[in-house]
C-alpha cells in the first residue's frame, strides 16, 4: 500500500466513523488536492486489496473489517496516543471509596463517553483465599454461614439448625472448618473439603453434617460470579447500525441471556480487538468487542470490555480503554 493509499484509508475510516455514510471520491478530493478521478483510481486499488468496500455498485466506500484492522494496527500505532484529557476519569479514580464503586462509576462513564456497552469482569473472588468462616445465629433454629476472603469478599448462606445439633458441636465444626480451610484458594475449597471428609479424622464429625457442608460449598460457589458488571447497552441502540429492528432485537436478546459472557475475550493479555465476524456470536457480527485485561499483584485477572458497532471511534476508544484498565489494575496493586 502506498503512502497516499494509507492516507485515503485513514480519511475514509475517520469520516465514516463520524457520519455513518459511505464516502465518495469527491469528498476526499478537497482534502488531498487531487481530482476526484485520482481518488477513484486509488479507491479502486484499495477495494481490490480488500480494505474498503461498496454498499452497492454506485455508492461511496466504507471500510471493510480488514480495513479497520489495518487502521488499528498500522495507522493508529503511528499516532500519539492521547492519554491525557481524561480528567473526568481521573476524578473517579482519586475518590476514596470502595474499589467496586470506583469500577462501576468508571464503567458507567466509559459507556457514556463512547456510546457503547461497557463490561467489567472480575477480578473475582475466585482466586482469593479464605480468611475466616463464621457462624452467626439468627433464631433458635436458623443460622448464617459467612465466608470472608483475604480480599474482603463476603458471601453468606442461611442454614437451618435441627434439634439434634447442639451449639457446642456446631462451634466445633466451624472451628475445624476454619482450621482446614483458612488460606485455601476459593477455587480449591470444594475439592479440599471433599478430600478431607474422606481422609482425615474429622470425617466422623462432618460426615453426617452433609447439609452444612453443602451449604458451605454453595456459599463458596457464589464467589465465582462476582465482579460482573454491564452497563450502557441502551446508549448504543440509538446508533444508525441499530436502525434495523431485527438486529436490535438480537442484540438485546444476547445481552439478556448473558451470552455476552461468551464474547469477552478473557484469555488474551493486554488489549484484544475483535472486529465483526471475528466474534463468534452471530448477533455481534456487526460489532466490535475490545477487551483490555489486567493482572493484579496477587495474580488475579480482570478485564474491562467495550462492545459497540464496528464503526466506532477506535482512535479515542482504544487509548481510553487502556487507560482505564491501567488505573483499575493500580487499584488492586495499592494494598
Partner DNA sequence: TTTTAGCAATCTTAAAACTAGAGTGCTAAA
Partner DNA sequence: TTTAGCACTCTAGTTTTAAGATTGCTAAAA
Instruction: Measure Cα distances from 10 to 14, 203, 331 in Å.
Output: 6, 68, 36
Closest CB 316 distance from DNA, rounded Å: 25
Alpha carbon 281 to chain centroid, angstroms: 16
Q: Strand, helix or coil at 89?
A: helix
- Helices 36-49 and 25-32 cross at an angle (nearest 10°) of 110
Dihedral angle over CA of 328, 332, 333, 335, nearest 10: 140
Return the one option of its own copies, DNA, none that residue 25 interacts with (CB less than 5 to 8 A, by type). DNA
Q: Omega before 123 cis (within 30°)?
A: yes
Return the one option of DNA, its own copies, none that residue 150 interacts with (CB less than 5 to 8 A, by type). its own copies
For residue 250, the tally of other CB atoms under 10 A from its CB is: 17
Which of 19, 59, 200, 268: binder of DNA (CB under 7 A)? 59
- Residue 314, all three cell numbers: 477506535
Interaction between residue 99 and its own copies (CB under 8 A) = yes
Return the one option of DNA, its own copies, none that residue 47 interacts with (CB less than 5 to 8 A, by type). DNA
Interaction between residue 25 and DNA (CB under 7 A) = yes
Return the one option of its own copies, DNA, none that residue 165 interacts with (CB less than 5 to 8 A, by type). none
Interaction between residue 167 and its own copies (CB under 8 A) = no
Q: What is d(CA 261, CA 295) in angstroms, rounded to the nearest whole number? A: 19
Q: Establish how many alpha carbons lie within 13 A of residue 64's alpha carbon, considering only the half-sphere containing its beta carbon.
A: 11
Chain positions 231 to 260 lying near its own copies, rule: CB under 8 A, are 231-234, 237-238, 242-243, 245, 248-249, 252-253, 255-257
Return the one option of DNA, its own copies, none that residue 249 interacts with (CB less than 5 to 8 A, by type). its own copies
Interaction between residue 156 and its own copies (CB under 8 A) = yes
Q: What is d(CA 233, CA 251) in angstroms, rounded to the nearest whole number? A: 9
Q: Strand, helix or coil at 28?
A: helix
Chain positions 54 to 93 lying near its own copies, rule: CB under 8 A, are none
Residues found near its own copies in the complex (CB under 8 A): 96, 98-99, 131-132, 136, 138-139, 141-142, 144, 146, 148, 150-152, 154, 156-158, 160, 218, 231-234, 237-238, 242-243, 245, 248-249, 252-253, 255-257, 335
Residues found near DNA in the complex (CB under 7 A): 22, 24-27, 34-38, 40-41, 43-44, 47, 54, 56-61
Amino acid at each position: 500500500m502506498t503512502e497516499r493509499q494509507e492516507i485515503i484509508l485513514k480519511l475514509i475510516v475517520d469520516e465514516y466513523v463520524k457520519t455513518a455514510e459511505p464516502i465518495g471520491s469527491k469528498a476526499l478530493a478537497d482534502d488531498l488536492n487531487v481530482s476526484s478521478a485520482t481518488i477513484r483510481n486509488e479507491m479502486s486499488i484499495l477495494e481490490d486489496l480488500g480494505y474498503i468496500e461498496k454498499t452497492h455498485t454506485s455508492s461511496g466506500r466504507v471500510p471493510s473489517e480488514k480495513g479497520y484492522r489495518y487502521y488499528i494496527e498500522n495507522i493508529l500505532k503511528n499516532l500519539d496516543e492521547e492519554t491525557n484529557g481524561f480528567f473526568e476519569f481521573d476524578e473517579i479514580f482519586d475518590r476514596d471509596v470502595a474499589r467496586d464503586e470506583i469500577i462501576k462509576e468508571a464503567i458507567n462513564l466509559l459507556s457514556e463517553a463512547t456510546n457503547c456497552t461497557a463490561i467489567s469482569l472480575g477480578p473475582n473472588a475466585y482466586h482469593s483465599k479464605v480468611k475466616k468462616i463464621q457462624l452467626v445465629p439468627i433464631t433458635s433454629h436458623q443460622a448464617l454461614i459467612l465466608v470472608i476472603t483475604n480480599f474482603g469478599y463476603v458471601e453468606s448462606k442461611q442454614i437451618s439448625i435441627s434439634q439434634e445439633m447442639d451449639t457446642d458441636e456446631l462451634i466445633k465444626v466451624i472451628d475445624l472448618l476454619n482450621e482446614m480451610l483458612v488460606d485455601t484458594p476459593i477455587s480449591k475449597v470444594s475439592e479440599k473439603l471433599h478430600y478431607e471428609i474422606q481422609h482425615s479424622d474429622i470425617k466422623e464429625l462432618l460426615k453426617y453434617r452433609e447439609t452444612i457442608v453443602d451449604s458451605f460449598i454453595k456459599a463458596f460457589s457464589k464467589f465465582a460470579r462476582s465482579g460482573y458488571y454491564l452497563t450502557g447497552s441502551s446508549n448504543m441502540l440509538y446508533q444508525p447500525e441499530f436502525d434495523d429492528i431485527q438486529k436490535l432485537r438480537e442484540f438485546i436478546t444476547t445481552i439478556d441471556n448473558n451470552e455476552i459472557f461468551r464474547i469477552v475475550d478473557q484469555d488474551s493479555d493486554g488489549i484484544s480487538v475483535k472486529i465483526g465476524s471475528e466474534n463468534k456470536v452471530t448477533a455481534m457480527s456487526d460489532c466490535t468487542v475490545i477487551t483490555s485485561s489486567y493482572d493484579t499483584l496477587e495474580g488475579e485477572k480482570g478485564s474491562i470490555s467495550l462492545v459497540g458497532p464496528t464503526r466506532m471511534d477506535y482512535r479515542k476508544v482504544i487509548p481510553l480503554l487502556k487507560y482505564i484498565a491501567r488505573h483499575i489494575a493500580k487499584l488492586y496493586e495499592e494494598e
